[in-house]
Amino acid sequence: MFAPGTYSTDVPVGFYTSVYGLGEAPTDTNFVGEKGVFAENGCGWFQVGALDTFWRSAENFHSSATFAWAVGTGMTWAVSQAAPLRNVKVDNDLLFFEYVTGDAAGYASGGWASGVDVGGAVSFGSQQQFSVRSSSASAFDKPVWNGVFAGVDGAPEAQCGSEGNPSISVESEVPLIAEKPFITYDEGGEFNLVVPGVESGASGIAQPMNNATTVPFENVYVTDPSDTAAIINGKLSEGLHVVVSPGIYELEDSIKVRQEGQVVLGLGFATLIAPSNGEPCLKVGDVGGVRVAGLLLEAGAWETRGGMLQVGETGKFEGSAANPVVLSDVFARVGGQNTGVGPVDTMFNIQSGFTIVDNTWLWRADHTDGNGGDDVLVKNSDNAVKNGVVVNADDVFAYGLAAEHTTEDNVVWNGDRGTTIFYQAEIMYDYLEDKWPFSCYKIGEGVIDHKATGLGCYSYFRDYAGSCESGVDTGGGSFDIDKAVSVWLNGMDGSSIKNVIDNDGMVADGESPQQFYCSEKKSN
């Protein structure tokens, strides 16, 4: 955490590390070093590159980096999922990939940026896909398969994808948003919690201070990693906001947020281990205005029911556009660091209307740490989790949604008037039958007015020559889908995704690995 001022230090950002400027504006905290704040490929071999460069973040500062990287001059942020960049002003180029050596730039599977103000160009290079919200740059190039821009000044022109050309989706406005809460340090030496206001139809560079509420830390409880859920819940019941300090929290019960407008803000990838009583890591009651941000939720070595994160307790809370629940940079994983976890029914269980998901990665780990740090491949449906997110509420919004490797539908959306802007999924690698009877993105039967922009479904049937019938299952209701892509990454001979959407007949397989769907609307 960097107080307002000027810093000549270069700051490499590694696993489970977050860099925060503590000013009200990015320009209050200035990095003038040659590299400034940066993240590089996790592996020098280009076929791995940044593919495993997860679990890090940076936000709320100004970079005047001038380093001449192989692919441009300025700030490098070569990352994949769960590595957000927020509210950063960059004087020169912003590079989301890195070339080190060999035949190509390091592969990357990101990513997310919001509130970035770039004086030079933004370059995605080898990024397979990327989502940018509420930002500006002099120029943007294009990721490899799927690029989505929402409320972005200078965004590239929208285009339907084709072999060798990515799908590019552009939304001129963000329908409904509240920026992520953040911490400031003022001239009097006091910390404050800033809770940004709600905006409709936002465009251009995010302005978190607009209509924001500033809360002095006398109304905030800062946790200790030794805290129990009972201690944290006691502070929440007193009406305090909670800042979760970095650490691993082995919970005995759910953290319960039941007062309107409360904030739970994690720092440095604070990790909540699902409690052994089978309850979610965190529950939000039937109240509006709650903000949950900056947390990593992790499955334990036992069953978790009702989601690792549950929003809404009765399934009857309609919520309101004026006072939504907002989940910013909240991530969940089943496996990865630990083996023998779960089972889990779903990672996110959303039952309250007007909930906003603003950047998430919901990951059933496909590999995990072994002895000596060697990766061990996950097989035979270990790390069992059925779904990434299940939406059982109306008027839910998701920006920058990623859900991977679940044993059933990655996403199940049963609520009306839902909106997704950018989605990325990989089908489980370890399925062992001919037909995987699920989809990457399933809209419930009869759902009305579902809008989705920039959907991506990828396959790697590693252990058997399986197939997925359809990447996107629209459920027969009314929908508006703007651009979707299926990609056969690799896999057994004969494996495939047979349709991009429903039964369109566009097969992604070893002979034609990429299939692009432009748009479709259906009204009932």
**Catalytic residue list:** 426
Residue 275 per-residue DSSP state: P
Q: Please report how many Cα atoms fall inside a 13 Å half-sphere around the Cα of residue 76, on the Cβ side.
A: 28
Q: Where are the beta strands (DSSP E) in 135-188?
A: 136-140, 146-150, 167-171, 174-178, 182-185
For the chain, give the number of residues. Answer: 524
Sign of the Cα torsion 290, 423, 17, 271 reads positive
Distance (Å, whole) CA 414 – CA 247: 35
Is the separation of the CB atoms in 97 and 71 below 8 Å? yes
> What is the amino acid identity at position 183?
I
Helices (H) and strands (E) in the chain, counts: 1, 47
Question: How far, in Å, are 398, 411, 443, 448 from residue 476 at the CA level?
Answer: 21, 16, 8, 9
Question: How far, in Å, are 81, 132, 227, 330, 415 from residue 17 at the CA level?
Answer: 14, 22, 21, 15, 36
Is the separation of the CB atoms in 67 and 73 below 8 Å? yes
Is the separation of the CB atoms in 344 and 304 below 8 Å? yes
Distance (Å, whole) CA 178 – CA 196: 6
**Helices (H), ranges, 115-209:** none
Residue (of 119, 109, 114, 8) closest to 49 by Cα position: 109
Burial 120-156 (b: 16+ CB within 10 A, else e): bbbbbbbbbbbbbbbbbbeebebbbbbbbbbbbeebb
Burial 361-370 (b: 16+ CB within 10 A, else e): bbbbbbebee
Residue 157 per-residue DSSP state: P
Is the separation of the CB atoms in 253 and 274 below 8 Å? no
Distance (Å, whole) CA 216 – CA 78: 35
Distance (Å, whole) CA 429 – CA 465: 10
Phi and psi, residue 235, nearest 5°:
-70, -40
